[in-house]
Amino acid sequence: MHTIIISTWTDIIQQFFPIFTAPGAQIFSHLMTGWILCTSRRTITGIIPFADPCFQRAHDTYHRFFPDCRWDVNRLWQILTLMLAKIFCPKGIITIALDDTLFHHSGRKINGAGYWRDAVRSTKKNIVYAWGLNLVVLTLQIQPPWGGEPLGLPVNMRLHRKNGDTLIELAMQMINQIHQWLPERRFQLVADGFYATLAGKQMPKTHLVSRIQCNAKIFDLPRKKRKKTRGRPRKKGKRLASPQKMTSYIQDWKLVEFCQRGKMIKRLVYTRQVIWYWVSHQPILLVISRDPSGKERDDFLFTTDLTMTAKEVLECYNDRWAIEDTFKNTKQFLGGQQPQTYKGQGPERAAALSLALYSIVWLWYLRQKSKVRTFWVQPWYRQKATPSFADALCCLRRELWSQRIKYMFGNFAVHDKKYEFLMEALASAA
Helix (H, G, I), strand (E, B) or coil at 421: helix
One domain for residues 250 and 329: no
In this prediction, residue 204 carries a pLDDT of 86
One domain for residues 219 and 188: no
- Which residues neighbour 87 within 8 Å (Cβ) at sequence distance 6 or greater? 4, 6, 363, 367
66 belongs to a structural domain: yes
One domain for residues 52 and 83: yes
Taking the C-alpha atoms of residue 281 and residue 401, their distance in angstroms, rounded to an integer, is: 57
pLDDT per residue of the chain (430 residues) written in tens, 0 to 9:
444 556 689 999 999 999 999 999 999 999 999 999 988 889 988 998 888 777 677 888 888 999 999 999 999 999 999 999 999 999 999 999 999 999 999 888 999 999 999 988 888 889 999 999 999 999 999 999 888 889 999 999 999 999 999 999 999 999 999 999 999 999 999 999 999 999 999 898 999 999 999 999 999 998 876 666 666 777 888 999 999 999 999 888 999 998 887 788 999 999 999 999 999 999 999 999 999 988 889 999 999 999 999 999 999 999 999 999 999 999 999 999 999 899 999 999 999 999 999 999 999 999 886 655 566 556 666 677 788 898 889 888 888 887 777 777 665 555 556 656 665 556 446 4
User: Residue 411 CB: number of other CB atoms within 10 A?
Assistant: 6
Strand partners for 264: 259
Note down the domain range covering 46: 9-192+322-368
403 belongs to a structural domain: yes
In this prediction, residue 430 carries a pLDDT of 44
Q: What is the pTM of this model?
A: 0.90
One domain for residues 15 and 127: yes
One domain for residues 177 and 238: no
Taking the C-alpha atoms of residue 208 and residue 168, their distance in angstroms, rounded to an integer, is: 14
230 belongs to a structural domain: yes
Which of 304, 334, 354 represents a domain boundary (last residue)?
304
Taking the C-alpha atoms of residue 72 and residue 148, their distance in angstroms, rounded to an integer, is: 36
202 belongs to a structural domain: no
Of 358, 357, 354, 351, whose CA–CA distance to 113 is shortest? 351
Following CA atoms 353, 358, 363, 365 in sequence, which dihedral angle do they give, to the nearest 10 degrees? 130
One domain for residues 33 and 116: yes
Taking the C-alpha atoms of residue 191 and residue 208, their distance in angstroms, rounded to an integer, is: 8
Taking the C-alpha atoms of residue 354 and residue 338, their distance in angstroms, rounded to an integer, is: 10
52 belongs to a structural domain: yes
Taking the C-alpha atoms of residue 29 and residue 357, their distance in angstroms, rounded to an integer, is: 12
∠ Cα 221 212 180 (to 5°): 90
Which of 272, 304, 336 represents a domain boundary (last residue)?
304
CB 278, CB 213: distance < 8 Å = no
> Domain count of the chain?
3
One domain for residues 108 and 248: no
374 belongs to a structural domain: no
CB 37, CB 401: distance < 8 Å = yes
Of 190, 223, 187, 181, whose CA–CA distance to 204 is shortest? 187
One domain for residues 178 and 111: yes
Determine whether 35 is exposed, middle or buried from the number of CB atoms within 10 Å of its CB (0-12, 13-18, 19+): buried
One domain for residues 56 and 174: yes
Q: Where are the beta strands (DSSP E) in 66-218?
A: 94-104, 114-117, 129-142, 151-160, 187-191, 206-211
Helix (H, G, I), strand (E, B) or coil at 160: strand
CB 126, CB 135: distance < 8 Å = no
One domain for residues 16 and 72: yes
253 belongs to a structural domain: yes
Strand partners for 207: 188
One domain for residues 51 and 87: yes
Of 313, 306, 307, whose CA–CA distance to 289 is shortest? 313
Which of 256, 272, 304 represents a domain boundary (last residue)?
304
Q: What is the largest CA-CA distance in the chain?
A: 96
412 belongs to a structural domain: yes
In this prediction, residue 414 carries a pLDDT of 52
User: Residue 111 CB: number of other CB atoms within 10 A?
Assistant: 17
One domain for residues 162 and 238: no
Query: Do the strands 206-211 and 187-191 form a parallel or antiparallel pair, or are they unpaired?
Result: parallel
